[in-house]
Amino acid sequence: MSHLTDTKKDASYLVMGNEAIVRGAIEAGVNVASGYPGTPSSEIIESLSRVASERNLYVEWSVNEKVALEVAAAASFAQLRSLCAMKQNGVNVASDFLLHLVGSGTRGGFVLVTCDDPGALSSVNEGESRYFSRLMEIPLLEPGNFQEAKDMTKWAFELSEELKQIVVVRSVTRMSHASGNIRYGELPDIERKAEFKYSGFIFDPEEGVVISAPVDWKHQQQQAKVKRAMEIFENCPFNTYEGPDKPELLLITSSACYLYSKEAVNVLGIEDRVGILKLGTTWPLPPKLLAKNLSRTQKIMIVEEVLPFLEENVKILAAEMAAEIGVKTFYGKKDGTIPMTNELNPDLVISGLSKILGMEYVPVSAEYDQLAKLSAFVGAPARDQVFCPGCPHRASFLSIHNALELDGRKGFVCGDIGCYSMAVRPTGFETLKTLHSMGSGMGVASGFGKLGQFGMDQPILAVCGDSTFYHAVIPALVNAVHNKANITLVVLDNSGTAMTGFQPHPGLDYNVMGDEVPCIDVAKICSAIGARVEITDPFDLKGTREMLNNLIEDSNGVKVLIMRKACALSPQRKNKKDFEMRVDETICLGEECGCNRFCTRIFRCPGLVWNEKKKKAEIDQVICAGCGVCADICPQHAIVKEEVA
């Protein structure tokens, strides 16, 4: 049983930010939850699925974020409470539906949780979801600590029902994946019945059709909701001020930056000089609350991550209210006090504060700092990200790399998001040459595949993962087949959404609720679309490489090669060695072999290391996953595999 449904009063629970959000949704009586996995959001749907039967929820991993938002919207239209969770990039995918949804309005409380990743700790960009709230004209809430992550999510459902509009709760990696103590509230005991009412007058928000037209009238309704939200936010307990009545400097912040700001003020010991206005409601901003706080002082510092969203919005209000509050001096992104890329931390806020207040702050002695930095430079060699020991991608990309080398026509691979994105690095033999959003490898390849009329004669490949295939590759595949692009798609099928932690996808016969469900076969889809389809086991290096060359040479339209092997960390393979591996020292020729230490310099599996003393390769038995692939790469056959009984 999950602690997320505990009913103990006055107990303190250590929860991840994402779990706090989940508890808030449970306390609000959420009925339906959907999403698509993406770090740092994935634990929200996972945790909800674990309490689904106990709390009578319907929870699903949808095929992509747009469909997830549509699925959750249906529940809201049927007067249920629903939650949809995704990482920031997912909001881009869902945004087309979102724009229509905000025009039509919602019924049951509907909360969109977006988890942004400033600093791209687990992403290939640091995109912003906050601007969607302004663009789509919908309320935006940002928790500033773990307790608020719970309380605010619960409140977001109530707000959504009051406004008849979707409400966004935005978290960041340092909130979603951090943990802290919270106290739980009560669990509700309400049964909601799903019914979609559509027979009322077209303008009736409760019983009319759900549609964003007539546009002018609906848009006016939508903007009235924003205005109402603004009024509610004027007296919202999630907007707080701490500090002297008339501080020297007013710091305005939100989200995880609130914790950094508090810490920075504490470290510098300037609690009597600096006031902190922490905003939990960051769109629309409540003007009266801002006027009151901006009036406290002349110097204003705005602390937020990545783009100057808060800064711009505060400055617009300050300009409108200048006659009332006077002219202010702003410090933030625009003047360079706070960096405009990457995540923040207490030190960056300390640095900004010290600059403005003319203070000097030395965290450690210059002598220590210099020695520590030098020691790390000399004594802590960089740790590049690598495919795990036993990862099928290492074998797959070795075959793709070798096939392209053998082909000799400067072929290349277009890719997208997954563990296999690392194939731009040496761990994937630097095989990927373009890397963009989910499914983009296939779309970009489809475009390259039509450049023959301009003289392009390089073989073109795309790669995608199995979950990605369903998410966004199918339309690109249809496009490539229909437009007769001459390309090869490699589906790296490792039996799950591996990078985010093995969430099930439509290719599997079970779902997140543990039900048996029909699986949608990749090979059959590709065949039905009209591609030539082949399947290999990437651990069969020779067979896979030969098949790939055969497909690349086939100039007749779209070919698909499914390389099928479960992820080394999947439940079916984790901690299970197929082979015991060892290097026969009497056979390994070390540097004397003509192979240029292929096993350790090129193949680079963490389980296959170089013994400096013996000048031979050896297996690190603690790390080796026993996949057996390296036995086939040694020209001397010095790497020996023995099947585990």
Partner 1 sequence: MASNQLVKDPFNVIITGVGGQGNVMASRILSNMLVQKGYFVTIGETFGASQRGGSVMSHIRISSHSTWSPQVPKGRAHIVVTLEPIEAIRVLANYGNEEVKVLTNTRPIYPAGVIAGESAYPAIEEIEATLKKLSHGVWLIDATEEAVKLGNPILGNIIMIGALSALGDLPVNRDDFNAVIRRTLPGDKVADNLKAFDMGAALLKN
Binder among 364, 456, 528, 644 for partner 1 (CB under 8 A): 364
| Smallest distance, partner 1 to C-beta of residue 351, A | 10
d(CA 475, CA 269): 57
Q: Which residues contact 571 (CB under 8 A, 6 or more apart)?
A: 502
Q: Which is nearer to partner 1, 422 or 485 (CB)?
A: 422
Q: Does 135 contact partner 1 by CB under 8 A? A: no
Q: Does 608 contact partner 1 by CB under 8 A? A: yes
**DSSP line for 209-249:** -----SHHHHHHHHHHHHHHHHHHHHT-TTSEEES-SS-SE
d(CA 341, CA 339): 6
Q: Which is nearer to partner 1, 106 or 500 (CB)?
A: 500
Q: Does 121 contact partner 1 by CB under 8 A? A: yes
- 3-class DSSP state for residue 68? helix
Q: Which is nearer to partner 1, 379 or 518 (CB)?
A: 379
> Which one of 23-31, 49-57, 431-439, 616-624 is the stretch in contact with partner 1 (CB under 8 A)?
616-624
d(CA 12, CA 9): 9
d(CA 525, CA 300): 57
Q: Which is nearer to partner 1, 584 or 591 (CB)?
A: 591
Q: Which is nearer to partner 1, 28 or 422 (CB)?
A: 422
Q: Which is nearer to partner 1, 335 or 620 (CB)?
A: 620
- 32 forms beta bridges with 58, 82
- 3-class DSSP state for residue 632? helix
Whether 182 and 63 have beta carbons less than 8 Å apart is answered as no
CA torsion sign for 534, 428, 40, 95 is negative
Q: Does 341 contact partner 1 by CB under 8 A? A: no
Q: Which is nearer to partner 1, 262 or 296 (CB)?
A: 262
Binder among 2, 5, 95, 122 for partner 1 (CB under 8 A): 122
Q: Does 146 contact partner 1 by CB under 8 A? A: yes
CA torsion sign for 98, 101, 105, 110 is negative
**Which residues in 527-546 contact partner 1 (CB under 8 A)?**
none
| Smallest distance, partner 1 to C-beta of residue 42, A | 9
Q: Does 365 contact partner 1 by CB under 8 A? A: yes
| Smallest distance, partner 1 to C-beta of residue 343, A | 9
Helix axes 215-234, 146-163, angle to 10 degrees: 140
**Which residues in 180-209 contact partner 1 (CB under 8 A)?**
180-181
| Smallest distance, partner 1 to C-beta of residue 347, A | 5
Q: Does 345 contact partner 1 by CB under 8 A? A: yes
d(CA 279, CA 247): 18
| Smallest distance, partner 1 to C-beta of residue 375, A | 5
> Which one of 68-76, 215-223, 445-453, 618-626 is the stretch in contact with partner 1 (CB under 8 A)?
618-626
Q: Which residues contact 43 (CB under 8 A, 6 or more apart)?
A: 16, 18, 19, 22, 176
Binder among 452, 479, 606, 631 for partner 1 (CB under 8 A): 606
Q: Does 644 contact partner 1 by CB under 8 A? A: no
Whether 82 and 30 have beta carbons less than 8 Å apart is answered as yes
Q: Which is nearer to partner 1, 339 or 447 (CB)?
A: 339
Q: Does 426 contact partner 1 by CB under 8 A? A: yes
Q: Which is nearer to partner 1, 195 or 360 (CB)?
A: 360
Q: Which is nearer to partner 1, 133 or 176 (CB)?
A: 176
> Which one of 472-480, 483-491, 557-565, 619-627 is the stretch in contact with partner 1 (CB under 8 A)?
619-627
| Smallest distance, partner 1 to C-beta of residue 625, A | 10
298-304-309 Cα angle (round to 5): 85
**How many residues of this chain bind partner 1 (CB under 8 A)?**
68
| Smallest distance, partner 1 to C-beta of residue 150, A | 13
Q: Which residue type sits at 440? A: S
Whether 460 and 488 have beta carbons less than 8 Å apart is answered as yes
**Which residues in 211-270 contact partner 1 (CB under 8 A)?**
256, 259-260, 262-264, 267
Binding-site string for partner 1 from residue 449 to residue 488, where x marks contact by CB under 8 A and - marks none: ----------------------------------------
464: its two tokens: 């995608």
d(CA 20, CA 22): 5
**DSSP line for 94-144:** HHHHHHHHHHH--SS-EEEEEEE-TT-TTSS----SHHHHHHHT--EE--S
Helix axes 88-104, 65-77, angle to 10 degrees: 30
Q: Which is nearer to partner 1, 166 or 259 (CB)?
A: 259
Binding-site string for partner 1 from residue 35 to residue 74, where x marks contact by CB under 8 A and - marks none: ----xx----------------------------------
| Smallest distance, partner 1 to C-beta of residue 639, A | 14
> Which one of 95-103, 157-165, 279-287, 374-382 is the stretch in contact with partner 1 (CB under 8 A)?
374-382
Q: Which of 65, 66, 85, 68 is CA-nearest to residue 25?
A: 85
> Which one of 61-69, 226-234, 527-535, 615-623 is the stretch in contact with partner 1 (CB under 8 A)?
615-623
Q: Does 363 contact partner 1 by CB under 8 A? A: yes
Q: Which helix (H) or strand (E) holds 180?
A: strand 179-183
Binding-site string for partner 1 from residue 581 to residue 600, where x marks contact by CB under 8 A and - marks none: ----------------x--x
d(CA 201, CA 208): 5
Whether 488 and 561 have beta carbons less than 8 Å apart is answered as yes
Binder among 145, 160, 396, 536 for partner 1 (CB under 8 A): 145
Q: How far is CA 237 from CA 166, 263, 382, in A?
A: 20, 21, 46
Q: Which of 521, 471, 463, 453 is CA-nearest to residue 487?
A: 463
536-539-540 Cα angle (round to 5): 60
Q: Where are the beta strands (DSSP E) in 417-557?
A: 432-435, 460-465, 488-493, 532-536
Binding-site string for partner 1 from residue 544 to residue 583, where x marks contact by CB under 8 A and - marks none: ----------------------------------------
Binder among 499, 558, 567, 630 for partner 1 (CB under 8 A): 499
The binding site for partner 1 (CB under 8 A) comprises: 12-14, 39-40, 121-123, 145-147, 173-175, 177-181, 256, 259-260, 262-264, 267, 345-347, 350, 363-365, 368-369, 371-373, 375-376, 378-388, 419, 422, 426-427, 499-500, 597, 600-601, 604, 606, 608-610, 620, 622-623
